[in-house]
C-alpha cells in the first residue's frame, strides 16, 4: 500500500445567491474525481494550468476544505472520515508549504516563535530549550543562520522566507509535505536553489512530497511521478521520464510543446500544438471529455458525450483519452486545422490564436488575472514563469470571499499582499550587517532588498486573514 492514496476525491464548492435566503444555484466542480497514489520517499508532481484545481486538491488532502466525495488514505487511515479531533492530530503528519512565503508567515512573530508554535501544539520537544535546539538543527538544514531565530519574516528575502516556510513544515517531522507552487513567487535565479534544497532534504530525511506547479519545468526534475490535471480531473499520469518522452494526452502534448528546449537544433525541429480558448468554467464543465472544447484531435463520436477514464496504457503510464492509442499511431485525423504545427512551419513566427469567449463565472473579469494568462499554453508552461502567482481572478464572484478566508495561507490570495518575494518593510529594521550575516549562510542573490519600504499595515492585514487557515496547519 502507498503512503498516501486518493480515491475518487471530489471537492464541489456551492455557488450561493440571494440576500435573505442563501440559495445554492450551482457548484464549482473544482476537483472532480481524482485518484492517485504517492509512494513513501517519492515526489508526486501535479501540474495543470491556473484554476484547474491543484490547490484545492492539496487542501483537500489536508482536509482544509470539505471533501464532497472520495477517500484520502494516509498510511492506512482514511482522513476523509476522521472526526475533527483525530484529524488535528493527523495534521502534524501532513504539512503544506505555500506559494507566497511572506503572506503565510505572521509578521508579528519572530522565527523562533513561528517555528515553535506548531511543535508545542503537537507536543514535540519537552521544553523550550529542546525545541530551540531542534529548530537550530532544522534552520541549518535549510541553509539559514541560527541568528535567524530572533528575527522577523520581513527581515528576509523571498528565497529565505521560503526556506523558513520549509523549516516550519520540517520541525513537525511530517510524513508528507505538500508544496503548493513553492517557487513561483521567487526570482528565477532563486527557484533552482529552493528546488535543490527540497531534493537534498528529501534525500537526507526520506521525505515524501506532493509538488504542485503550473510549470512543467519546475516539476520535471524533482518528480518521480507526474500527474497532469485539467478542469478538476487527472488526464494523464506516469513516471516522470516516460511522460516527458512520450506524452499521450493531447493536453499534455500541448503543454509539453510549449516548453522551450535549450538546444536550438531540437527546438527548431519539433512540432508545436497551439490550444485555442480559455479553460472552461469549472462551474459549467463541458460534457464528455472535458478537453473536447480545445482538443485538436476531437472526434465526432465519444469525445463530447463520454468522459474518458484514466486507464493504464502500459508501464504505469495512464491516460484519459478515448483516442490516445490512435493519436499516438497517427491513425485519427486532427480536426482543428492549424492547431498542430509541423516543424517546418516553425520557420515563421507562430501565431497564437485569440482566446475564445471568456468563461462566465467571473474568472476572466480580471484580464490580467490568472484565468486570462492561462489560456496560452506557452505561458502556462513557461519555465520559471510566474504566471498565476496569486491573482484571485480565478475565483467566482460569489465564492471569492469564502475562498480567501479559507485559503489564507496565501496560496492564491495575494490580492492585498505585498508583492510576494518582494520586500518587507523593514528596511529600517534590518541593519546592513545583519542582512549580510543572514546571507552568508544562504546565497548572496537572496539578499533582502532593504531599500524598499514595506507596507506593514498591508502585510499585517493579509496575514491576519491568512492566520485562520494557517493555524489550522501549524497549530492543530
Ligand atoms: N473556496 C472556494 N469557493 C468557491 N470556488 C473556489 C474556492 N476555492 C477555489 N475555487 C475555485 O475552484 C477552482 C480551482 O481553484 P484552485 O485554486 O484549486 O486552482 P489552481 O489549479 O490551484 O490554480 P492556480 O494555479 O491559479 O493556483 C477555481 O475555479 C476556483 O475559482
Ligand atoms: S477524448 Fe477526444 S476530446 Fe478528449 S482528449 Fe481524447 S481525442 Fe481529445
Ligand atoms: Mg493554486
- In this prediction, residue 425 carries a pLDDT of 35
> Considering every ligand atom, which ligand is closest to the CA of 229?
1
Rounded Cα distance between 24 and 464, Å, is 29
269 found inside a domain: no
* CATH number of the domain enclosing 31: 3.40.50.300
112 found inside a domain: yes
Instruction: Identify each DSSP E strand in 327-390 by its residue range.
Output: 340-341
Q: How many H helices and E strands in the chain?
A: 16, 14
Q: Residue 82 Cα, ligand 1 centroid: separation in angstroms?
A: 24
240 found inside a domain: no
Ligand 2 close to Cβ of residue 454 (< 6 A): no
257 found inside a domain: no
CB 44 within 8 A of CB 227: yes
The DSSP code sequence of 388-441 is: TSS-STTS-TTTHHHHHHHH-SSSS-GGGS--TTS--STTTT--HHHHHHHHHH
Range of lowest pLDDT (160-164, 238-242, 366-370, 438-442)? 366-370
Q: Residue 142 Cα, ligand 1 centroid: separation in angstroms?
A: 30
C-alpha cell at 226: 507526474
Rounded Cα distance between 70 and 432, Å, is 52
145 found inside a domain: yes
Rounded Cα distance between 242 and 244, Å, is 5
| Angle (nearest 5°) at CA 253 between 248 and 259 | 140
Rounded Cα distance between 465 and 476, Å, is 17
pLDDT, averaged across the chain: 76
Ligand 1 close to Cβ of residue 423 (< 6 A): no
> Considering every ligand atom, which ligand is closest to the CA of 389?
1
Average pLDDT over every residue of 1-21: 90
- pLDDT tens digits for 366-406? 333 333 333 333 333 333 333 333 333 333 333 333 333 33
pTM of the full predicted structure? 0.76
What is the number of structural domains in the chain?
1
464 found inside a domain: yes
| Angle (nearest 5°) at CA 176 between 89 and 253 | 140
110 found inside a domain: yes
Ligand 1 close to Cβ of residue 73 (< 6 A): no
Q: Residue 36 Cα, ligand 3 centroid: separation in angstroms?
A: 18
DSSP state of 355: P
Q: Residue 324 Cα, ligand 2 centroid: separation in angstroms?
A: 8
Ligand 2 close to Cβ of residue 298 (< 6 A): yes
For a ligand 1 pocket test, name from 14, 53, 468 the mutation site with the most ligand atoms within 8 angstroms of its C-beta.
53
337 found inside a domain: no
Q: Which domain holds residue 25?
A: 4-231+279-284+359-474
For a ligand 1 pocket test, name from 10, 17, 30 the mutation site with the most ligand atoms within 8 angstroms of its C-beta.
30
Amino acid at each position: 500500500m502507498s503512503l498516501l492514496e486518493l480515491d475518487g476525491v471530489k471537492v464541489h464548492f456551492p455557488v450561493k445567491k440571494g440576500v435573505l435566503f442563501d440559495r445554492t444555484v450551482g457548484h464549482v466542480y473544482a476537483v472532480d474525481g481524482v485518484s492517485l497514489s504517492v509512494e513513501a520517499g517519492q515526489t508526486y508532481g501535479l501540474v495543470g494550468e491556473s484554476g484547474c484545481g491543484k490547490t484545492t486538491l492539496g487542501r483537500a488532502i489536508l482536509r482544509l476544505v470539505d471533501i464532497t466525495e472520495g477517500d484520502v488514505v494516509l498510511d492506512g487511515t482514511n482522513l476523509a472520515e476522521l472526526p475533527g479531533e483525530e484529524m488535528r492530530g493527523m495534521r502534524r503528519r501532513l504539512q503544506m508549504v505555500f506559494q507566497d512565503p511572506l503572506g503565510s508567515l505572521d509578521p508579528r512573530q519572530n522565527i523562533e516563535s513561528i517555528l515553535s508554535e506548531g511543535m508545542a501544539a503537537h507536543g514535540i520537544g519537552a521544553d523550550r530549550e529542546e525545541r530551540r535546539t531542534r529548530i537550530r538543527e532544522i534552520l541549518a538544514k535549510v541553509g539559514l543562520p541560527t541568528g535567524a531565530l530572533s528575527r522577523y519574516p520581513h527581515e528576509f528575502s523571498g528565497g529565505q522566507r521560503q526556506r523558513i516556510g520549509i523549516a516550519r513544515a520540517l520541525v513537525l517531522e511530517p510524513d508528507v509535505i505538500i508544496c503548493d507552487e513553492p517557487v513561483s513567487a521567487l526570482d528565477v535565479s532563486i527557484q533552482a536553489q529552493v528546488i535543490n534544497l527540497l531534493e537534498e532534504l528529501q534525500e537526507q530525511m526520506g521525505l515524501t512530497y506532493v509538488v504542485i506547479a503550473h510549470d512543467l519545468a519546475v516539476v520535471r526534475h524533482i518528480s518521480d511521478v507526474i500527474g497532469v490535471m485539467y478542469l478538476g480531473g487527472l488526464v494523464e499520469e506516469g513516471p516522470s521520464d516516460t511522460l516527458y518522452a512520450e506524452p499521450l494526452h493531447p493536453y499534455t502534448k500541448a503543454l509539453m510543446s510549449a516548453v522551450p528546449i535549450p538546444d536550438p537544433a531540437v527546438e527548431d525541429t519539433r512540432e508545436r500544438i497551439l490550444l485555442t480558448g480559455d479553460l472552461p468554467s469549472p462551474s459549467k464543465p463541458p460534457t464528455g471529455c472535458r478537453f473536447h472544447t480545445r482538443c485538436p484531435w476531437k472526434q465526432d463520436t465519444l469525445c463530447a458525450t463520454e468522459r474518458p477514464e484514466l486507464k493504464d496504457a502500459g508501464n504505469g503510464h495512464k491516460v484519459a483519452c478515448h483516442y490516445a492509442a490512435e493519436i499516438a499511431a497517427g491513425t485519427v485525423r486532427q480536426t482543428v486545422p492549424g492547431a498542430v504545427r509541423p516543424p517546418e512551419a516553425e520557420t515563421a513566427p507562430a501565431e497564437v490564436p485569440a482566446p475564445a469567449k471568456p468563461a462566465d463565472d467571473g474568472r476572466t473579469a480580471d484580464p490580467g488575472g490568472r484565468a486570462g494568462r492561462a489560456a496560452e499554453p506557452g505561458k502556462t508552461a513557461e519555465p520559471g514563469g510566474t504566471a498565476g502567482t496569486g491573482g484571485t481572478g480565478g475565483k467566482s464572484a460569489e465564492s471569492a470571499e469564502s475562498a480567501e478566508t479559507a485559503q489564507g495561507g496565501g496560496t492564491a490570495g495575494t490580492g492585498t499582499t505585498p508583492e510576494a518575494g518582494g520586500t518587507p518593510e523593514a528596511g529600517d529594521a534590518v541593519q546592513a550587517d545583519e542582512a549580510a550575516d543572514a546571507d552568508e549562510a544562504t546565497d548572496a542573490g537572496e539578499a533582502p532588498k532593504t531599500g524598499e519600504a514595506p507596507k506593514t499595515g498591508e502585510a499585517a492585514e493579509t496575514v491576519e486573514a491568512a492566520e485562520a487557515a494557517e493555524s489550522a496547519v501549524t497549530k492543530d
